[in-house]
């Protein structure tokens, strides 16, 4: 099912790297940026998430939280988060249910992999409605961070 701006964001419950269950409802009353990324420890994913880490204060100043979601195990994500000193939650969608719900799953990926998370970005407002949706077919590209920030600015 295609995700569209204006629809209520699909709810989810996933575990973070501290083995704590995180749900979309935990962010009610705040704007949320969800970044789906293909795989931990890869070049483009690391650059994308380091951009967020290094500019996290910009997002918090816009009343937003950021989370990253991939199909990696919470243990791999924990090592990735620690190595890169990320200051936001990374959630494991190991069973691929949330990636499917957000239309963010590659049928096939490089090296014969099947069912890898697509690089995608969503802005969900404090009422749980999707205000920005970007699903990239090319895993080598990064989301439009300027457009994400502009969307958040409009929600202030």
Domains annotated on the chain, with CATH: 13-155 (3.40.30.10)
Stronger pLDDT, 113 or 105, i.e. the higher one: 105
Separation of alpha carbons 152 and 64, rounded Å: 7
At residue 1, the pLDDT reads 60
Containing 47, the helix (H) or strand (E) segment is helix 43-54
Summarised one tens digit per residue, pLDDT across range 73-92 is 999 999 999 999 999 999 99
Q: Residue 20: which residues within 8 A CB-CB, separation 6 or more?
A: none
What mean pLDDT is predicted for residues 95-122? Answer: 87
User: Who contacts 39 (Cβ-Cβ below 8 Å, separation ≥6)?
Assistant: 45, 70, 71, 72, 116, 117
Phi-psi sector, 150: left (phi>0), alpha (psi -120 to 50), beta: alpha
Element containing residue 48 per DSSP (H, E): helix 43-54
Cα atoms found within 13 Å of the Cα of residue 155, Cβ hemisphere only: 27
pLDDT(113) > 80: no
Q: Which entry of 45, 74, 105, 123 is annotated as an active-site residue?
A: 45
Q: Please state, rounded to an integer, the average pLDDT across all residues of the chain.
A: 94
Known catalytic residue: 45? yes
pLDDT digits (tens, 9 = 90+) for 28-47: 999 999 999 999 999 999 99
Q: What pTM does this model have?
A: 0.94
């Amino acid at each position: 099912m295609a995700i569209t701006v204006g629809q209520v964001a699909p709810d989810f419950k996933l575990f973070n790297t501290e083995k704590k269950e995180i749900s979309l409802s935990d962010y009610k009353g705040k704007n949320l940026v969800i970044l789906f990324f293909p795989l931990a420890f890869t070049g483009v994913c690391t650059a994308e998430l380091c951009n967020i880490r290094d500019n996290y204060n910009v997002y918090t100043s816009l009343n937003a939280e950021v989370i990253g979601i991939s199909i990696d195990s919470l243990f791999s994500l924990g090592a990735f988060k620690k190595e890169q000193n990320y200051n936001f939650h990374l959630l494991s969608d190991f069973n691929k249910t949330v990636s499917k719900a957000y239309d963010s799953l590659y049928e096939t990926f490089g090296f014969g992999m099947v069912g890898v998370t697509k690089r995608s970005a969503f802005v969900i407002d404090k009422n749980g409605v999707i205000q920005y949706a970007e699903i990239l077919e090319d895993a080598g590209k990064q989301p439009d961070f300027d457009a994400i920030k502009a969307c958040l600015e409009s929600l202030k």
